[in-house]
Amino acid sequence: MARKRQSPESIAKVLRQAESGIPIAELARKTGVHENTIHLWKKKYGALGTPEIREINELRDENTRLKRLVADLTLDKVMLQDVLSKKL
């Protein structure tokens, strides 16, 4: 089953509702996510607002993209070094 990524606005809304005293089980049923997911959001994002959550997600995505880029460049470097060593 494909994972649905929640928007920062919806995560912040769920966390505000949880802080106001609505039971986690009811929030999970309303939003269609598992209770554990809401607990993870509380642990990860705490009292952050929507802009901060959005920024964290953007930074995480950029970090993932840059890690892939470094891995690709490292692989290219290794392949070129192997080719050069075989020619000499």
Q: Which domain holds residue 31?
A: 8-87
Tell whether 2 is covered by a domain.
Answer: no
Cα separation, 46 vs 83, whole angstroms: 51
Tell whether 61 is covered by a domain.
Answer: yes
Tell whether 40 is covered by a domain.
Answer: yes
Tell whether 83 is covered by a domain.
Answer: yes
Tell whether 39 is covered by a domain.
Answer: yes
Tell whether 3 is covered by a domain.
Answer: no
Tell whether 47 is covered by a domain.
Answer: yes
Domain count, the chain: 1
Instruction: Please write the tens of the pLDDT for every residue from 25-82.
Output: 999 999 899 999 999 999 988 878 888 888 988 999 999 999 999 999 999 999 999 9
DSSP state of 5: P
Is 0.75 surpassed by the pTM of this model?
no
Tell whether 13 is covered by a domain.
Answer: yes
Cα separation, 45 vs 51, whole angstroms: 11
